[in-house]
Amino acid sequence: MRWIRTLCYSLGLSAAFMAPAAMAQQTFVNVLTGGQSGVYYPLGVSLAQIYGKTIPNARATAQVTKASAENLNLLQAGRGELAFTLGDALSDAWKGDAEAGFTKKLDKLRGLSATYNNVIQIVANADSGIKTLADLKGKRLSVGAARSGTELNARAILKAAGITYQDLGKVEYLPFGESVELIKNRQLDATLQSAGLGVASIRDLATSVKIVVVPVPADVVAKVGDPAYQPTVIPANTYTGQTEDVQTAAIPNFLVTHSGVSDELAYEMTKQLYANLETLHAAHNAAKAIKLENAVKGMPVPLHPGAERYYKEVGVIK
């Protein structure tokens, strides 16, 4: 019996030494998203679930944030492994554009993949009388959370249209869902939301009040002066009551990581993203625009070596 006790004691010691080693191998993947009523959040939740199932020893989570600008600053600080961001915000962060809220160059940022285009969607309560950009003067407008990617887009579009915040009756810096609730309660006239088509917040608004989707003409898009902004249309019937195509601007979105993430983890995050696109499609229709052949197009920052390895394996990079 003594040898059995000795064996058990030895096994117990082995397990005690093995446990910390096993814990040390756990990989944390924090996906930085945006507000819960936007598109980043459901896609981020879906990605976290994918990574938790497919990356060995991964503990994956999705974090609600104020989106692009906050996400990029968090990545630079090492407080996340992957983030969604708008292309113009990413370019500004890489350059260290203080006016856009980046007081220094965020030099640790590394690209993982292009995704889908955000579409500038300016939606007003029909009772407000707003039909054009010029009609926004003197009205109450929500431009997204302060210094978010949406707010940076709002500044760019309004400036190109010859409108300043001082021209507006009131400016609110609110997430999508809160903006919609204030419009329903007639405390706001309009909201500018930079998101994928069919965003839940605007769908909700359009089923509650009669809306007008305000066009952003192609000449205004051109006056932004940033190649990230391209003319596009919001197709008719994207939202209840929107019976015609509406001109507006599109800006590409990217998934970004940072230089402190291991090559192996960046490789797996990229590989599992493209191996599980159907799961992302189920999370939100915007994900249907994610194409492997477009993965590195227009990337404003250097690719992470792990992502680059995957793209070379599949022939995207020769």
Which pLDDT tens digit goes with each residue over 285-296?
Answer: 999 999 999 999
- Please report, to the nearest 10 degrees, the dihedral formed by the alpha carbons of residues 279, 66, 147, 198 taken in order: 40
* CA dist., res. 229 & res. 154, Å (int): 12
pLDDT above 90 (res 201): yes
What pLDDT does 149 receive? 87
The rounded mean pLDDT for the chain is: 92
pLDDT tens digits for range 166-200: 999 999 999 999 999 999 999 999 999 999 899 99
> What's the CA angle centered on 98, arms 77 and 156, to 5 degrees?
115
pLDDT above 70 (res 10): no
Domains of the chain, with CATH numbers?
A: 25-116+253-313 (3.40.190.10), 118-251 (3.40.190.10)
Instruction: Collapse the DSSP code of 106 into the 3-class scheme (helix H, G, I; strand E, B; otherwise coil) and give the result.
Output: coil
Helix residue spans in 211-256 (DSSP H): 218-223
pLDDT above 60 (res 67): yes
pLDDT above 80 (res 9): no
Mean pLDDT score, 150-157: 94
pLDDT above 50 (res 30): yes
Task: Determine what percent of the chain is predicted with pLDDT higher than 70.
Answer: 92
What pLDDT does 145 receive? 86
